[in-house]
Structure 1
Amino acid sequence: MPQYPTFPAPRARRNASLPANTISLSIAAIILLAGGALSAQTQNLLAAIIAAIIAAGVLLSLKMCNSWQRAVVLRAGKIQGIRGPGLFFIVPFLDQIFAVVDQRIRTVPVHTRQTLTRDTTPVDVDAVIFWMVHDPMRAITELDDFEDSVSLVALTTLREVVSSSDLSVLLEERRKIDDQLRELIEVKTREWGVTVQSVEIRDVQLPDSLQDAMSRQAQAERERGARVTLASAEREVAHELAEAAKTYEASPIALQILQINRVFEMNKNRGTTILMPTSMADSMATATAFAAALRTTPPAEEQPPAS
């Protein structure tokens, strides 16, 4: 049976809180020490109690966000605004940090199993989505859980693109598919305050039977190319042999000298016995005598110029 993708289960949004920072802890410790010293000097616990209340107020009101974080603050259930980065104050027991949004680039792996392409080929596609939150207010107020929503949109969009594309396009034009995926996902997530940086398809896995068929097809293509190359080489060799035959037909002595050279090449190794017909031997003797005559005939002397 085909394996269907597993969608993430929706998670309930919980109230977020920032951990106590070193600055608020240091201020609270200084207030407590000052109150304790004052109480010991005056022999009165009121100063220590007041110092403890002020230190607790500092811990509850003085918050800090990192450079990549933004805090969504609610006051009595109403949106108060976005706080951060750095130090900020909230009213204890009245203000509430509903969520802390990380604005760094995040990655979401997306996997589809046994998805049919447009030419009805089941494939497994693995992709990675790079995205970030550019508007924390909209990401928190528009969606219950924007992380799961981005994952769901990326998965459904990937299946739509794979179903509407041919297998050859998925294998050969990955850059085009990546750009198409990014545009489609960004159109859906832009209203949520989420920006899709890029989409990259990591792997496209084919069934084993289809891989074997494609391997046989590639092997057949290579064999056909090799045979075409061999036939072209034989045609060129035949053309050169035809030209050589015309040359030897016009000059029988050249053919006989070629035969002598071939016999000489065959007789390089000692102890080789070569048998040939008498007519062929006589023709070679005639050619040898002719070549020797050409070598021994001195060049004609130049005649002196007439007086």
Structure 2
Amino acid sequence: MPYVLLLLFLILMVMVVLNIKIVPQATVFVVERMGAYQATWETGVHFTIPFVDRVAKKVSLKEQVVDFNPQPVITKDNVTMQIDTVVFYQITDAKLFAYGVERPIAAIEHLTATTLRNIIGELELDNTLTSRDVINTKITATLDVATDKWGIKVNRVELKNIIPPREIQDAMERQMKAEREKRESVLRAEGEKRSQILVAEGEKESAILRAEAVREQKIREAQGEAEAIMMVQKALADSIKLLNEANPSSAVLTIKSLEAFQKAADGKATKIIIPSEIQSLAGLATSFKEVMTEPQAVELEGNKPSEM
């Protein structure tokens, strides 16, 4: 009998342990009782009634991502392309998610493909390739409204890849290559232009520096000549001042006049205008010379032998 009681106690303990349910963070359990919806358990410890309650579904409340396979779509200008999408969704109502639709992820995939075909069918190829943000916004809005009754909120939809036909890809690659070559040629032309501008600016600066050097040289030469003239004039002024202070006699002035006339006569001028004062002095000098030389001439005549 004690063994039977012990066995029953162990069985009871196992059943109690098996019916203790711990709900982790960001997760809820959908519980059914006798096959009908009973409750939605949130984070914490819960107990089920053996053989009556069961956890029908464990639902994560975290944002989830599902990547769907590429879907064929046709543009307004009859170009068939492949587009694969990525859907970011989050479960907001576990009861609706459990009982609202069978295979909800598959339902979202089919709804995404249908919505994508409807949107792309109104756009041409060029608009499809350049309007990703518009397409993403439209698909997100449509899916969010449609999945509300399934307890799902679609946060956003992204077009992962847009794959046009091979011939269009080749044409796009050739166009991109041509544009790249054009940009490279433009960059080279701009570089050459910049180089020429730099060379021209360098030559201009060099010419300016040479002109400034010539100008500086001429200024220095002019300043040197001006200083030389000033020194000569100062020396002349000083000599005149000293001459005035010495109070020279008329004889000294006469001698200075003769010296000046001598320097003037030493030049290469073909015509010299002699002041009257210097002319009278010249005549005086000539008379003086004749007086000095006359006795010598008389003496020579006296010493001349007589003719026989």
Q: Which category of TM-score, normalised to the shorter sequence, fits these structures?
A: 0.5 to 0.7
**Unpaired segments ≥5 residues, structure 1:** 1-42, 234-294, 303-307
Partner of 1:188: 146
For 1:63 and 1:190, locate their aligned partners in 2 and report how far apart those are by CA, in whole Å.
29
Shift of 1:218: 5.0
User: Could you tell me which of 152, 158, 180 is aligned with 2:116?
Assistant: 158
Q: Secondary structure at the match of 2:18?
A: helix
Residue 207 (structure 1) aligned with residue 165 (structure 2): yes
Shift of 1:223: 7.8
User: Could you tell me which of 137, 143, 150 is aligned with 2:101?
Assistant: 143
Shift of 1:84: 2.5
Letter in 2 for 1:51: F
The question of whether the paired residues in 2 share the 8 Å contact of 1:110 and 1:154 is answered with no
Q: Secondary structure at the match of 1:45?
A: helix
Deviates more, 1:218-227 or 1:58-67: 218-227
Residue 178 (structure 1) aligned with residue 136 (structure 2): yes
For 1:221 and 1:72, locate their aligned partners in 2 and report how far apart those are by CA, in whole Å.
58
Residue 107 (structure 1) aligned with residue 65 (structure 2): yes
Q: Secondary structure at the match of 1:81?
A: strand
Greater helix proportion: 2
The question of whether the paired residues in 2 share the 8 Å contact of 1:132 and 1:195 is answered with yes
Letter in 1 for 2:111: V
Identity %: 25
Shift of 1:103: 1.8
Letter in 2 for 1:188: A
The question of whether the paired residues in 1 share the 8 Å contact of 2:71 and 2:113 is answered with no
Letter in 1 for 2:70: T
Deviations, residues 200-253 of structure 1 (Å, cap 9, x unaligned): 1111112221122234445666788979x98xx9xxxxxxxxxxxxxxxxxxxx
Q: Secondary structure at the match of 1:111?
A: coil
Equivalent pairs, count: 205
For 1:189 and 1:144, locate their aligned partners in 2 and report how far apart those are by CA, in whole Å.
13
Residue 76 (structure 1) aligned with residue 76 (structure 2): no
Task: Please report the TM-score for the alignment, with normalisation by the length of structure 1.
Answer: 0.56
Letter in 1 for 2:3: L
Residue 61 (structure 1) aligned with residue 19 (structure 2): yes
Shift of 1:44: 2.1
Describe how 1:1-307 pairs up with structure 2 within 5 A: 44-218=2-176
Structure whose CA Rg is larger: 2
The question of whether the paired residues in 2 share the 8 Å contact of 1:73 and 1:80 is answered with yes
Q: Which has the higher contact order (CA 8 A, sep 6+)?
A: 1
The question of whether the paired residues in 2 share the 8 Å contact of 1:112 and 1:155 is answered with no
Task: Please report the TM-score for the alignment, with normalisation by the length of structure 2.
Answer: 0.56
Shift of 1:179: 1.4
Q: Secondary structure at the match of 1:186?
A: helix
